[in-house]
Amino acid sequence: MKVSEKLHKDAKPVWDKICAHPFVVELFQGTLPIEKFKTYILHDYSYLLGAIRNFSIIASRADSADVVREVVEIAHLEATGEFQGYEEMLHTLGYTMDDAMRVEPFPTNLSYRSFLLTTSSLGTSQEALASVLPCFWSYLDIAVDHRDALSKNTNKIYVDWASVYLSGDYRQLVNKLRHLVDSTCEDFPYKRLRTLFLTASRYEYMYWDAAYKQESWPI
Amino acid sequence: MKVSEKLHKDAKPVWDKICAHPFVVELFQGTLPIEKFKTYILHDYSYLLGAIRNFSIIASRADSADVVREVVEIAHLEATGEFQGYEEMLHTLGYTMDDAMRVEPFPTNLSYRSFLLTTSSLGTSQEALASVLPCFWSYLDIAVDHRDALSKNTNKIYVDWASVYLSGDYRQLVNKLRHLVDSTCEDFPYKRLRTLFLTASRYEYMYWDAAYKQESWPI
Amino acid sequence: MKVSEKLHKDAKPVWDKICAHPFVVELFQGTLPIEKFKTYILHDYSYLLGAIRNFSIIASRADSADVVREVVEIAHLEATGEFQGYEEMLHTLGYTMDDAMRVEPFPTNLSYRSFLLTTSSLGTSQEALASVLPCFWSYLDIAVDHRDALSKNTNKIYVDWASVYLSGDYRQLVNKLRHLVDSTCEDFPYKRLRTLFLTASRYEYMYWDAAYKQESWPI
Amino acid sequence: MKVSEKLHKDAKPVWDKICAHPFVVELFQGTLPIEKFKTYILHDYSYLLGAIRNFSIIASRADSADVVREVVEIAHLEATGEFQGYEEMLHTLGYTMDDAMRVEPFPTNLSYRSFLLTTSSLGTSQEALASVLPCFWSYLDIAVDHRDALSKNTNKIYVDWASVYLSGDYRQLVNKLRHLVDSTCEDFPYKRLRTLFLTASRYEYMYWDAAYKQESWPI
């Protein structure tokens, strides 16, 4: 079994709970209160910027030229296409980029992002790649799981948002990330990758939960 | 007003809540359930190791030789005296270092630590120094605030633990950190330092709260 | 005067010597022995890979989202177009990418590259940007200075190579880098930028010289 | 054979040339012109500061708590005892610390230091440890090799300087570094360690040579 498959299998219980989380379920069904979605999108700015920084760090420290170049490609994709799509969604919701930049990230957002950036800054590129995988891959799994609900969803904003994760381009991106993990991590101590993959998966769950509960700083 | 004084003043509302948190109050009064203290101590291992890494990063990236050397001194203090004191406390509580190493950090522990390490890895040494200050300084303020309660506290373990933060050595360490912030941050954009100082203060509060509630991962 | 203009002016004596270096003069005239050019190209592999890593580090640590995204764009350009052009030149000279990867970088190559990567890893993004500017900008200046010689140059390989640096795309890249320096460094201590810009300029000179003399490790 | 022994054996031809370099030979015999020694000492400031930064980076990124703490100990030793000894030598030679800080490092100094800092910033702690070993270990080998010459050396300054490397403390430091390499690198791809160890050894040779020739920037 490939490393990414093992990781996926080991994190299954967590991912099942992610797929069943009310934010996710209601989003794909179209019943999620728009205010919750707006909060989620506004806060996604910090996460997206963090992801671009994160892939840049991974690129800078990868062993082989091939991995360096592939990860730069992903950083670039996040900094261009993904960023542009994000800006359009902001406008659809009546916000500007400045609104998003002014938002103070809620605790789980800052914490998850910091976990990823610490892993890439202090760990190896293998550990960093294993840590970013749950975010990308779980969004694909979520979309596939809720495909039926989505086909009956009449909330255009949610349908547009979710359809991205069912596109061939997105599947290709996830496959590229899985391949990066599989090709670089084969000889890497599995236990360390597993801990990081599980932790990132847990943060994914907590992120959805924080958005649903409109989490704020306790003081 | 010096930078550290301004930061301290701006974070006062948060620090007041830290001083009034039940974990802190009960610890200094001697009424804190020992299980809560044990959890706190066991989890402190990851935090302490993170602090040593953090000061090492700050040292590596400080501008002047003097700051490099002073921060190495602090890293060394954490890695020797502080670490030894920690090990002794573990033994007093019936644990070994291996027990502490096996503990899976609770979310707020990992999150706070990651926030500090991300700040030092990606930010400037000024930003990193402003971020580590609340941890050290608030422990001093807490100890001073609860000095009377401590004098009536008959729980030897808690008294031994708390007395460290009233020692001259500890006050000197806090002063050294304040001086590092004051001497390097004068010309640094205050707003960025303030945000980081406040965020670290909030994490301090959340850390006490997590220990009190015996926080665990939701999944 | 803008920061980049001041830096350019202060490094003029070094850049004049770069423009007058026999490797440069003979390359644009078409009289450079092909063996020297082959060495230069083969060794450029490490430098190019280092540049991709370097821009990735700068992107990861830049303050603003705009700078992060612009620098990722440059890293991507180096990892795609620039890399592809490099591979084609290798083939023109009868080499494969594997040949380039097997080459042991000569001392000045490793040293210059390490200087740039250390600056971006331990310094600020401003310092890192000021350090990478001489490489890109001096190639433009060289090409403009030797435009006449190039128009009479009949060595197709050299003409193809040099023409890139006279293209509108290349000028735009240099302008983008200058703009990044000008927009981020205005309030940064000039003296530190100047030292780094001068050091990078000196390494540029030493790099041409090392290629001309077919530098190797003394032991 | 332990990793450090293999590395030592593979670098023997380079180390033999280091031991036979005129700077080294004349230093231990007492015939080295004092001006050359003065240059060497003045420039050592940047190298020493770089070493403190370097060990700090290694500490921050080491896998295990034990290695973190041992490397912090070494960083601290460099920042205190080693730094103090350096300052005393400066005074003996009629210089102040300010004189040393004002010196512009010669190319080989900056290059070697940058190579070490790039390795620790972008590589693993194993690679970084293998890279710093030649500096420390070769000084011990040099001192042992030239012990007889030293016993007849009447130049008090040189004798005082060289005796440090024959002390039990210094041997213990080298053994600690070797042990760190041996205990962390056993399962690490040897070829990558070998390349780094050899490169650092070559820079060691070039550093002595640069000091002997009073190297300066060509422009």
pLDDT digits (tens, 9 = 90+) for D62-121: 999 999 999 999 999 999 999 999 999 999 999 999 999 999 999 999 999 999 999 999
pLDDT for the residue numbered A116: 98
| Residue in D60, D119, D124, D193 to test binding to A, most A beta-carbons within 10 Å | D124
| pTM of the full structure | 0.98
Q: What is the 3-state secondary structure (H, E, C) of chain D?
A: CCHHHHHHHHCHHHHHHHHCCHHHHHHHHCCCCHHHHHHHHHHHHHHHHHHHHHHHHHHHHCCCHHHHHHHHHHHHHHHHHHHHHHHHHHHHCCCCHHHHHHCCCCHHHHHHHHHHHHHHHHCCHHHHHHHHHHHHHHHHHHHHHCHHHHHHCCCHHHHHHHHHHHCHHHHHHHHHHHHHHHHHHCCCCHHHHHHHHHHHHHHHHHHHHHHHCCCCCCC
CA distances, A188 to each of B47, C129, D193 (Å): 26, 35, 17
The shortest CB-CB distance from D60 to any of B53, B73, B83 is to B53
In chain C, residues with a C-beta closer than 8 Å to the C-beta of A53 are 59-61, 68
Confidence of residue B122 (pLDDT cuts 50, 70, 90): very high
Does any domain span residue A219?
A: no
Q: Mark yes or no for CB contact B111/A115 under 8 Å.
A: yes
pLDDT digits (tens, 9 = 90+) for C117-174: 999 999 999 999 999 999 999 999 999 999 999 999 999 999 999 999 999 999 999 9
Does any domain span residue C218?
A: no
pLDDT for the residue numbered D2: 98
Does any domain span residue B175?
A: yes
In chain C, residues with a C-beta closer than 8 Å to the C-beta of D107 are 111, 202, 206
Q: Mark yes or no for CB contact D60/A122 under 8 Å.
A: yes
Q: Mark yes or no for CB contact A205/B219 under 8 Å.
A: yes
Rounded to the nearest integer, the mean pLDDT of chain C is: 97
The one-character DSSP state at C79 is I
Residue range C177-193: average pLDDT? 97
In chain A, residues with a C-beta closer than 8 Å to the C-beta of B111 are 107-108, 110-112, 114-115
The shortest CB-CB distance from A14 to any of B14, B121, B219 is to B219
What is the ipTM, given to two decimal places? 0.97
The one-character DSSP state at A63 is S
pLDDT for the residue numbered D143: 98
| Min distance C205 CA to chain B CA atoms (Å) | 28
Q: Mark yes or no for CB contact C60/B124 under 8 Å.
A: no
Does any domain span residue A51?
A: yes
| Residue in D72, D116, D121, D122 to test binding to B, most B beta-carbons within 10 Å | D72
Q: What is the sign of the dihedral through the CA atoms of A108, A110, A112 and A115?
A: negative
CA-nearest residue of chain B to C189?
B187
Provide the residue-wise pLDDT of chain D in tens; the chain has 219 residues.
999 999 999 999 999 999 999 999 999 999 999 999 999 999 999 999 999 999 999 999 999 999 999 999 999 999 999 999 999 999 999 999 999 999 999 999 999 999 999 999 999 999 999 999 999 999 999 999 999 999 999 999 999 999 999 999 999 999 999 999 999 999 999 999 999 999 999 999 999 999 999 999 999
pLDDT digits (tens, 9 = 90+) for A83-133: 999 999 999 999 999 999 999 999 999 999 999 999 999 999 999 999 999
Does any domain span residue C217?
A: no
Interface of B with C (CB under 8 A): 60-61, 122-124
Q: Which amino acid is at D149?
A: A
Query: What CATH number does the domain containing B7 carry?
Result: 1.20.910.10
Judge whether D116 and C117 are in contact, CB under 8 Å: no
| Min distance C131 CA to chain B CA atoms (Å) | 17
CA distances, C177 to each of A76, C71, C133, C171, D60 (Å): 17, 9, 7, 10, 32
Residues ≥6 apart with Cβ < 8 Å to A188: A3, A124, A126, A127
Q: Which amino acid is at B85?
A: G
Confidence of residue C187 (pLDDT cuts 50, 70, 90): very high
Q: What is the sign of the dihedral through the CA atoms of B43, B48, B49 and B50?
A: positive
Q: Which chains touch B (3 or more CB pairs under 8 A)?
A: A, C, D
Does any domain span residue B131?
A: yes
The shortest CB-CB distance from C122 to any of B61, B122, B123 is to B61
The shortest CB-CB distance from D79 to any of B53, B72, B80 is to B72
Confidence of residue B149 (pLDDT cuts 50, 70, 90): very high
CA-nearest residue of chain C to B57?
C122
Number of residue pairs across B and D with CB atoms under 8 Å? 68
Residue range C94-116: average pLDDT? 97
| Min distance D46 CA to chain C CA atoms (Å) | 14
Q: In angstroms, rounded to a whole number, what is the distance separating the alpha carbons of residues C199 and D219?
A: 10
Q: What percent of chain A has pLDDT over 90?
A: 100
In chain B, residues with a C-beta closer than 8 Å to the C-beta of D53 are 59-61, 68
pLDDT for the residue numbered B42: 96
Residue span of the structural domain in which D15 resides? 3-212
Structural domain count, chain C: 1
Q: Mark yes or no for CB contact C69/A52 under 8 Å.
A: yes
CA distances, C126 to each of A59, C64, C122, C183, D113 (Å): 20, 12, 12, 10, 21
Judge whether A59 and A71 are in contact, CB under 8 Å: yes
Q: Which residue do the tokens 């592999």 mark?
A: C45
Interface of B with A (CB under 8 A): 13-14, 17, 53, 107-108, 110-115, 117-118, 121-122, 199, 202, 205-206, 209, 217-219
Q: Mark yes or no for CB contact B73/D80 under 8 Å.
A: yes
pLDDT for the residue numbered A164: 97
The one-character DSSP state at A123 is S
Does any domain span residue D102?
A: yes
Residue B134, judged by CB atoms within 10 A of its CB (0-12, 13-18, 19+), counts as buried
pLDDT digits (tens, 9 = 90+) for B1-16: 999 999 999 999 999 9
In chain D, residues with a C-beta closer than 8 Å to the C-beta of C118 are 113-114, 117-118, 121
CA-nearest residue of chain A to C72?
A76
In chain A, residues with a C-beta closer than 8 Å to the C-beta of D123 are 61
Rounded to the nearest integer, the mean pLDDT of chain A is: 97
| Residue in C56, C90, C102 to test binding to A, most A beta-carbons within 10 Å | C56
Residue range B122-150: average pLDDT? 98
Rounded to the nearest integer, the mean pLDDT of chain B is: 97
SS3 B124: coil
pLDDT for the residue numbered A123: 97
pLDDT digits (tens, 9 = 90+) for B191-202: 999 999 999 999
Residues ≥6 apart with Cβ < 8 Å to D178: D2, D4, D133, D137
Does any domain span residue A89?
A: yes
Q: In angstroms, rounded to a whole number, what is the distance separating the alpha carbons of residues D56 and A122?
A: 12
